[in-house]
Amino acid sequence: MKSTSEFTPEELRYLQLLSRSFPTVASASTEIINLEAILNLPKGTEHFLADLHGEYEAFQHVLKNASGSVERKVNELFGSHLRESEKRELCTLIYYPREKLELIKAKESNLDEWYMVTLIQLVRTCQIVSSKYTRSKVRKALPEEFSYIIQELMHESENNPNKQAYLDGILRTIITIGRADEFIVAMCHLIQRLVIDSLHIVGDIYDRGPGAHIIMDTLMRYHHVDIQWGNHDVLWMGAAAGNDCCIANVLRISLRYASLKTLEDGYGINLLPLATFAMEQYADDPCTIFQPKMTYADAPYSEKNMRLIAQMHKAISIIQFKLEAALLNKHPEYGLNHRNMLHRMDLQRGVLVVDGKEYPLEDTCFPTVDAADPYRLTEEEAELVTKLHHSFVSSERLENHMQFLLSHGAMYKVCNSNLLFHASIPMNDDGTFKEVMIDGCPYVGKALLDKVDQMVRKAFQRHAETAERDYCIDYIWYLWCGPDAPPFDKSQMATFERYFTTDKALQKEVQGHYFTVRNSPEVCERILDEFGCHGRHRHIINGHVPVKTKKGETPIRANGLLLVIDGGFSRAYQPETGIAGYTLVYNSQGMHLVQHEPFLSRQMAIEQGLDIKSTNIVVEFDAQRMRVRETDIGRELQQQIDDLKALLCWRLSDASR
């Protein structure tokens, strides 16, 4: 036992502070016992998703079914006792309790009996999904209205003859007083809450799909979530911070996919000035190459509206090219002035001239481009940019969502020996870290991602020095499309070339070396070491590049050290990938990928019980369950135990004197 004299002054000060929370030997001892018990519980289940791209219905369904975890629990409990149709109906009830209840009540002849059977099934399901948590943690998750009743039901066994009448009495009373519906809803939401302990979103919430704002609202209500910023998230962050190039890109992508709900319904962005400008400037232009790439069934547009969207699409694209040229002139250190294309057009001959070679232009109607000064905004364009800028920076809901991305997000995360980042860490072709210059200083590896993370945050610090903040706001655009930008990491973003030429070589975007060398186990080990990831269960988890499953690509690389979980959540990617996304589940028995088929619709899931068809791919399996003590939280709890033991030692040494 240490005597008081053996503690350093710093240790004594800390123990004195700790003693305020645990003033007696008994209170400290009780906490040690409690923490030691928690260390022996099974590790909580982690759920990893990436590249959601606004597909809110599929995202919400995957959250509700926890990538098939709910169905697996139901099968474990009722495998041979219920028919497949009954298990499917129970799962659908857990996912969509209010909607499913309405359908059941309309057809069920003996509703009280159905209530009784269903309540017993839900209680048993709750018991199994809560079994890896302490009672305290479960209690905190309970809905306040039914907290006491649920605790009584969950912690008593129906096989105990002494309590059978007691439990039956509770359930029958819930039914007779007309509270069964609300109680079932509460139980279903509790199951959804407990089946997943923590959620990781590995980037790209925004763009393409119709409901990124709905996804953000869902995440803000979620009990435990972290986000690793993707290039599309960074783009929206730049737009919210007031970067006009980012604003133009956000608008262009939304119009390209005819996906305007997030802009208009979500954030109240006023598109009327853009529509008016586009109709005036391109009244006689068919804007053929600017027709939307796809539309969503929940947002059908008339032929007239599709034409207007194409006109708006072209208008904002030309404005984007002009704004980006001004930004590149301001920042020659980006090394991207060669990306300016408007001055390379010969509209009289209908060609684009690049490096002395001519390429036919697919469109030669540019009423707002002055051949003598092609990058100058017209007065109307400048006025429009000002209005759009105001609309973005004054959107309260957009600001709230961006602040959530800042508070719950980062460029990367290290969690339970796994390294999570969306796209890339710039590398050389030999698998060493590439040196990237920012504001005249070199950064590599972890230091680079830390610097970029700091700059994104600085862009939102309104009290920061103006020039420094402006530099960071400008740099966010580079993060969207810069060759050495970790969220992007390609040779170029060939937007102009894809619109106006058909030459595949000119349109080619060459991926950075990371996307090749990451297939090497040695390189992955080097990256994991750089970020301090240790242990036998360590992995890199990426999104960003869709895994083309139908072409034989696999999400598991580098002998299992690297997992790429972008499998095409976005409907725009599904023809290319052949599936509708991967999710990753990491529980106490190991790690498995879940490969999803396309989600048909929320309505079909409710009415027909059609769940997402999923295939499990085991990445790692451990016959011996992983315990909390082996996790990051476990190491924190162990430190608390060590501190409390030191407190006891100090108290007892004082008492013995």
pLDDT score for 562: 95
What one-character-per-residue DSSP string does 478-541 give? HHHH-TT-TTT-BS---HHHHHH---HHHH--PBPTHHHHTTSHHHHHHHHHHTT--STT-EEE
What 8-state DSSP symbol labels residue 200? Answer: E
Task: Give the lowest-confidence range in 201-215, 227-241, 538-552, 631-645.
Answer: 538-552
Task: Specify whether 35 is located in the same domain as 106.
Answer: no
Q: How far is CA 581 from CA 11, 354, 423, in A?
A: 51, 38, 16
Q: Residue 437 belongs to what H/E stretch?
A: strand 436-438
Supply 599's token pair.
Answer: 């989600």
* pLDDT at residue 11 tops 90: no
* pLDDT at residue 569 tops 90: no
Q: What is the rounded average pLDDT for all residues in the chain?
A: 90
Query: CA-CA distance, 215 to 56, in Å (whole number)?
Result: 6
pLDDT score for 294: 66
pLDDT score for 185: 94
Query: CA-CA distance, 286 to 314, in Å (whole number)?
Result: 10
Query: CA-CA distance, 340 to 599, in Å (whole number)?
Result: 41
Q: Which residues of 26-58 are buried (b: 16+ CB within 10 A; e: fewer)?
A: eebeebbeebeebbebebbbbbbbbbbbbbbbb
Contact of 184 with 118, CB cutoff 8 Å = yes
Task: Give the lowest-confidence range in 143-152, 218-227, 234-243.
Answer: 143-152
Task: Specify whether 287 is located in the same domain as 184.
Answer: no
Choose among 601, 600, 602, 550: nearest CA to 575: 550
Contact of 87 with 74, CB cutoff 8 Å = yes
Confidence of residue 66 (pLDDT cuts 50, 70, 90): confident
Please provide residue 412's backbone torsions phi and psi, each rounded to the nearest 5 degrees. -155, 170
Place of tokens 């009448």: 165
| Average pLDDT of span 437-450 | 96
- Secondary structure (H, E, C), 331-398: CHHHCCHHHCCHHHEECCCCEEEECCEEEECCCCCCCCCECCECCCCCHHHHHHHHHHHHHHHCCHHH
Q: Looking at the domain assignment, is residue 245 inside a domain?
A: yes
Q: How far is CA 649 from CA 58, 172, 555, 652, in A?
A: 54, 53, 51, 5
Q: How far is CA 494 from CA 395, 477, 482, 483, in A?
A: 30, 15, 11, 12
Task: Specify whether 115 is located in the same domain as 79.
Answer: yes
Task: Specify whether 239 is located in the same domain as 141.
Answer: no
Task: Specify whether 181 is located in the same domain as 239.
Answer: no
Task: Specify whether 176 is located in the same domain as 245.
Answer: no
Domain span holding position 299 = 234-396
pLDDT score for 614: 65
Task: Specify whether 435 is located in the same domain as 367.
Answer: no
| Average pLDDT of span 212-222 | 96
Q: Looking at the domain assignment, is residue 242 inside a domain?
A: yes
Residues near 562 by Cβ (< 8 Å), separated by ≥ 6? 518, 519, 524, 539, 540, 541, 542, 556
Query: CA-CA distance, 385 to 379, in Å (whole number)?
Result: 10
Boundary of a domain, candidates 372, 396, 420: 396
Give me the sign of the Cα torsion angle 125, 128, 132, 136.
positive
Task: Give the lowest-confidence range in 200-204, 272-276, 330-334, 641-645.
Answer: 641-645
Boundary of a domain, candidates 175, 196, 217: 196
Q: Looking at the domain assignment, is residue 419 inside a domain?
A: no
Please give the residue that has the higher pLDDT: either 141 or 444.
444
The string of pLDDT tens digits covering residues 513-560 is: 999 999 999 999 999 999 999 888 899 999 988 887 767 788 899 999
Q: Looking at the domain assignment, is residue 584 inside a domain?
A: no
For the entire predicted model, the pTM comes to: 0.92
Place of tokens 């698998």: 431
pLDDT score for 612: 63
* pLDDT at residue 656 tops 70: no
Q: Looking at the domain assignment, is residue 112 inside a domain?
A: yes
pLDDT score for 609: 67
Task: Specify whether 112 is located in the same domain as 261.
Answer: no
Task: Specify whether 459 is located in the same domain as 498.
Answer: yes
Query: CA-CA distance, 59 to 192, in Å (whole number)?
Result: 14
| Average pLDDT of span 242-248 | 98
Q: Looking at the domain assignment, is residue 422 inside a domain?
A: no
Task: Give the lowest-confidence range in 245-249, 402-406, 653-657.
Answer: 653-657
Supply 635's token pair.
Answer: 């190491």
Name the percent of the chain lying above pLDDT 90.
64
Confidence of residue 568 (pLDDT cuts 50, 70, 90): low
Task: Give the lowest-confidence range in 25-29, 591-595, 615-619.
Answer: 615-619
Query: CA-CA distance, 94 to 222, in Å (whole number)?
Result: 17
Which of the given ranges, 535-539, 568-572, 596-600, 608-612, has the highest pLDDT on average?
535-539
Query: CA-CA distance, 501 to 565, in Å (whole number)?
Result: 32
Q: Looking at the domain assignment, is residue 532 inside a domain?
A: no
Query: CA-CA distance, 457 to 317, in Å (whole number)?
Result: 28
Task: Specify whether 149 is located in the same domain as 253.
Answer: no
Task: Specify whether 502 is located in the same domain as 465.
Answer: yes
* pLDDT at residue 411 tops 60: yes
* pLDDT at residue 408 tops 90: yes
Q: Residue 608 belongs to what H/E stretch?
A: helix 602-608
Contact of 423 with 543, CB cutoff 8 Å = yes
pLDDT score for 549: 74
pLDDT score for 240: 98
Q: How many domains does the chain have?
A: 4
Q: Which residues of 321-330 are buried (b: 16+ CB within 10 A; e: fewer)?
A: bbbbbebbee
**Per this entry, what is the length of the chain?**
657
Residues near 294 by Cβ (< 8 Å), separated by ≥ 6? 257, 258, 571, 572
Query: CA-CA distance, 555 to 552, in Å (whole number)?
Result: 10
Place of tokens 């830390």: 450
Contact of 479 with 339, CB cutoff 8 Å = no
Confidence of residue 134 (pLDDT cuts 50, 70, 90): confident
Q: Looking at the domain assignment, is residue 35 inside a domain?
A: yes
Query: CA-CA distance, 107 to 105, in Å (whole number)?
Result: 6
Confidence of residue 52 (pLDDT cuts 50, 70, 90): very high
Task: Specify whether 18 is located in the same domain as 162.
Answer: no
Query: CA-CA distance, 32 to 36, in Å (whole number)?
Result: 6
pLDDT score for 287: 95
30-33-37 Cα angle (round to 5):
140
Q: Are strands 225-228 and 409-410 parallel, antiparallel or unpaired?
A: parallel
Task: Give the lowest-confidence range in 25-34, 218-227, 366-375, 576-585.
Answer: 576-585
* pLDDT at residue 292 tops 60: yes
β partners of residue 594: 583, 616
Q: Which amino acid is at 1?
A: M
Residues near 642 by Cβ (< 8 Å), separated by ≥ 6? none
Supply 389's token pair.
Answer: 């800028």
Query: CA-CA distance, 113 to 241, in Å (whole number)?
Result: 57
pLDDT score for 299: 57
Confidence of residue 133 (pLDDT cuts 50, 70, 90): confident
Contact of 217 with 244, CB cutoff 8 Å = no
Boundary of a domain, candidates 196, 225, 248: 196
